[in-house]
Amino acid sequence: MAELEIKNLNKYYQLGNKSKFHALTDINLSFEKGELVSIVGESGSGKSTLMNLIGGLDSQFDGEINITGVNLKNLSDRELDEYRKKKVGFVFQSFNLIPHLTILDNVTIALTLSNVRESEKIEKATKVLEKLGLAEQIKKKPTQLSGGQKQRVAIARALINDPEIILADEPTGALDSQTTLQILDILKSIADEGKLVIMVTHSEKVASISSRVVEVSDGKIINDQNKKGRKKKQSTNIAETKVTKNKKTNLSFWSAIRLSFHNMWASKVKNFLIAFGVSISLVSLILMLAFGSGLTDYINSLANEYNNPYYVSITKRKDKDNPNMPANPLSPLPFKTDEEINEIITDINAQLEKANNEYRISNEVVSYGFNQMTYGTSTTFKFKVDENGIYSDEGQEEKSESIFYIYTTPPYYTDANMLAGNISGDNEVMFSKALLKKLGLNNYDDVCGKVRLNIDIPRYGLNTKDIISQEQGLTGDPIVSGIIDVTGIFENFPVMYVSYDYLNKLVSYVDTEGKIGFRPTALYIKTDDEKTTEFINNYLNSLDYYSGSVEEQMASMFTQMISTFSTALTIIAGISLIVATIMILVVLYMSVTERTREIGVLKSIGARRKDIKRIFSSESLLIGILSGLVGIILSLVCGGILIIALKSLLGFAPISFRWYYFVIALGISIIISVLAGLLPASKAAKLDPVESLRHE
């Protein structure tokens, strides 16, 4: 059986819609191993067309091309890939070495596609390269070699899988006469060692060396000369060892990564710039998230600063009668009835029981007692200062100047919380530093025990001037007893503190006159330990209608604003990620175009579509990882600089990194790169090998 037998081969090229070009007509040829065949003929006569058909790069033909009796036409795509990988070796006029790989890697690439062990690859390639006189060159890149050397590397690559047929399309076309002879000698010795070598040439001299000359003209064989008779020698092959049968003979994932890495390294500036571009979006994303959580952390730390770990506060988030109107933390909703208070206390006690916590809240309202409840309230009112003192004068709008807040002193405030003076009792109030500042007073001594205050809240029917009650110990306008040290979220709020008892007396006094009283807006409960506090707080914060302290409500209001704000910024960062994705897509498309020839070479040595896809996909994966890492490093650097700058400007830096922000950024970067790589990779995989090889 002939090694290669061509029967009635016809090749048509489809031109446009209906017209066809008849490139090869009724070719009948038969070749044996050991032959060195020259195919000669004018340019355009169909020589390359014939070679591409024999080599399985083009499988569109009529007739038969039988390789040891098997028609190429009957092979599946996979079998055809396998045929190119194992049975034929290509040598091209323009060498077609892969520029970013070393000589060694260029030769071993065919083995890499078969997932051959590293040591075995190197051993084989070194042997072949040594025989071709290239032992010294294996670490070089193709650009560092002369034309003759390059062609010898290409021959080594063609031989590495020990194929039966070597196809060389004008292998000496780009070489001077001296090197031409060298290459011919090599091809001749390959034929002598028992392979079928088919070579396309223009040169008569080149043809004269071969054992057989086939002349093609206009797609027809016009001459077939057998000059020296067949020589057949089966023994020593240049590539001595047969390819070991590996179970998995495809390009492995790691080899694909390695190949892509080499390619990316070859254009490292470009790839680094892409990674930098993508990383800018990642940095903005990470910083937005870190800024959002930093602000939230900061607000929460302010809210918690004054929360005593042994006290629980209960405030209302919404009113059951009017759930669409959420509470404003600055004028909280009152507990309208005692039943309402009982209900929430009973509920919390039930939760404590469920959690096997022994602690229970007593429903009895007593001041400052263990596990007892204390009421608190707060409200706003308007005030005016003149030569006669400080007036709250809500009823007389024209005199009003500003707003401040009345808070009842929480039970856990002690003298330790005072900047000056004492905790207030009956006939006394306390000012916050911010209120003092607002009133234009700055000397504590001028205020404490001296300034009297006329509280006038017509809403409550309350005017301290009128309230003198021997029985209750009320003496009229209260005096400022001290300055309270308010830190945390309310630090800059002008607040006047009064004791709940005192306020209650004032109002109940008015009550007897038939005026409106007030209801508590906060319940303070002393607990047995921090765990109970935490448990109750967590429970309260999970509720729709109740929450913990006013500070917590305030914090959650701010937090909500911040999260809306940072969501908006994150969306902008997201849009920039879309831009980054498109950028990667464009760059990868360009990379496919740039590497079209390389893809053709890979296909000619048996790379499957899958392998090509894998090489390009791993390139996009690497870009994703690189961008992610650059993004993480840059955001740490930028974040660090921002923290230092904000600390020196504001005294605090609301930036908190969470480890998972980096994971998210890396994940997003990998996902967008891999997604962006899908289209270019499948475009690369679909390229026609013959066209790719012709690509300029």
Residues that bind ligand ADP (CB under 6 A): 13, 15, 21, 23, 41, 43-49
Which of 158/168 has CB closer to Mg ion? 168
Q: Which is nearer to ligand ADP, 13 or 370 (CB)?
A: 13
How far apart, in whole angstroms, are the C-alpha atoms of residue 544 and residue 458? 33
Residue whose CB is nearest to ligand ADP in the complex, by number: 48
Q: Which is nearer to ligand ADP, 141 or 202 (CB)?
A: 202
- State the binding partner of 234 from Mg ion, ligand ADP, none, CB within 5 to 8 A by kind: none
In whole angstroms, the minimum distance from the beta carbon of 158 to Mg ion comes to 17
* Sheet of strand 522-526, all strands in order from the earlier edge strand to the far edge: 373-376, 522-526, 311-316, 546-547
Phi, psi at 562, each rounded to 5°: -65, -40
Closer CB to Mg ion, 48 or 108, in the complex: 48
> What is the x/- site pattern for Mg ion, positions 46-65, by CB under 5 A?
--x-----------------
Task: Spell out the residues 6+ positions from residue 333 whose beta carbon is closer than 8 angstroms to its own.
Answer: 315, 316, 318, 319, 327, 521
| Bridge partner residues of 15 (DSSP) | 19
Q: How far is the CB of 123 from Mg ion (least distance, A)?
A: 35
Give, as ranges, the residues between 258 and 297 that touch Mg ion (CB under 5 A). none
Q: What are phi and psi of 53, to 5 degrees?
A: -70, -45
Least distance CB 15 / ligand ADP (angstroms): 6
660 binds, among ligand ADP, Mg ion, none (CB under 5 to 8 A by kind): none
Minimum Å distance from CB 40 to ligand ADP? Answer: 10
Closest to Mg ion by CB, 23 or 406:
23
State the binding partner of 13 from ligand ADP, Mg ion, none, CB within 5 to 8 A by kind: ligand ADP
If contact means CB under 5 to 8 A according to the sort of partner, which of ligand ADP, Mg ion, none does residue 46 touch? ligand ADP
Shortest spacing between CB 111 and Mg ion, in angstroms: 28
216 versus 429: smaller Cβ distance to ligand ADP = 216
- Is residue 96 within the footprint of Mg ion (CB under 5 A)? no
Q: Cβ of residue 168: shortest distance to Mg ion, in angstroms?
A: 12
Residue 395 interacts, among Mg ion, ligand ADP, none and using kind-specific CB cut-offs from 5 to 8 Å, with none
Question: Binding string, 30-49, against Mg ion, x = CB under 5 A?
Answer: ------------------x-
Q: Which residue has the tokens 């409550």?
A: 460
Residues in the chain: 696
Give 243's DSSP letter.
P
Task: Return the number of the residue (12 or 272) whose C-beta is nearest ligand ADP.
Answer: 12
Instruction: Look at residue 447 and give the partner it binds from Mg ion, ligand ADP, none, a contact being a CB closer than 5 to 8 Å depending on partner kind.
Output: none
Q: What residues contact residue 350 under an 8 Å CB cut-off, 6+ apart?
A: none
The CA distances from residue 330 to 164, 457, 589, 615, in Å, are: 89, 17, 58, 62
Interhelix angle for 609-650 vs 659-686, to 10°? 150
Output 58 or 619, the one with its CB closest to ligand ADP: 58
- DSSP strands (E only) in 485-554: 495-498, 522-526, 546-547
Which among Mg ion, ligand ADP, none contacts residue 44 (Cβ within 5 to 8 A by kind)?
ligand ADP
DSSP 416-481: GGEEEE----TTEEEEEHHHHHHTT---HHHHTTT-BEE-EEGGGTEEGGG-EETTTTEESS-EEE
Closest contact distance (angstroms) between CB of 13 and ligand ADP is 3
| Binding-residue total with Mg ion (CB under 5 A) | 1
Q: Quick one: 201 or 263, whose CB is closer to ligand ADP?
A: 201
Number of helices (H), then strands (E), belonging to the chain: the values are 19, 28
CA nearest neighbour of 594 among 277, 270, 276: 270
| Residue nearest Mg ion by beta-carbon distance | 48
Characterize 617-643 residue by residue with b for buried, 16 or more Cβ atoms within 10 angstroms of its Cβ, and e for exposed: bbbbbbbbbbbbbbbbebbeebbeebb
Per the DSSP assignment, residues forming a β-bridge with 22 are: 12
Does residue 172 interact with Mg ion by CB under 5 A?
no
**Residue among 180 and 533 whose Cβ is closer to Mg ion:** 180
Q: Give the residue among 580, 579, 571 at the shortest CA–CA distance from 626.
A: 580
Cβ atoms < 10 Å from Cβ of 268: 11
Q: Which does 179 bind (CB under 5 to 8 A by kind): Mg ion, ligand ADP, none?
A: none
Residues that bind Mg ion (CB under 5 A): 48
